[in-house]
Amino acid sequence: MDQSKPVNTVAAAVKPDVASVVQSAAVANAAAIAAADALMAPPTRAKRGFAVLSPEKKREIASMGGKAAHEHGRAHRFTSEEARAAGKRRHQLRMLAAAQAAAAQSAAAQATGAPGSPSN
């Protein structure tokens, strides 16, 4: 019976040490992983295609494409009359849509009897 006391005392003394060793190992492992991640930079992608070209060269190539489209008849340049007519149509469509939205909103307000809606 005398032998059980020292074993229990040793076990009690060892338990906190094991926990602290495990905890310090986990902290050290996390620190090592963080250091490795900091050292390994994400892979950089090499520029390809038009990204490699200078802005002047890009502009020159785009200009050639526009000129070619006009030569082949695939491009269209609005005259001032055509642009004016297109703007007028767009404005009319916007006004019509706004009027329809306002009418739908007032009809919904009247159907629910919301305060502030026009009454008969």
Summarize pLDDT for 83-115 with one digit per residue, the tens.
999 999 999 999 999 999 999 999 998 888 766
Reported pTM: 0.34
Mean pLDDT along residues 7-16: 54
Interacting residues of 116 by C-beta distance below 8 A, sequence separation 6+:
109
Beta-carbon count within 10 A of 53 CB: 13
- Residue-level pLDDT at 86: 94
Give 50-93 pLDDT, tens digit per residue.
999 999 999 999 999 999 998 998 888 889 999 999 999 999 99
* Alpha helix stretches (DSSP H) within 1-120: 4-39, 55-71, 80-112
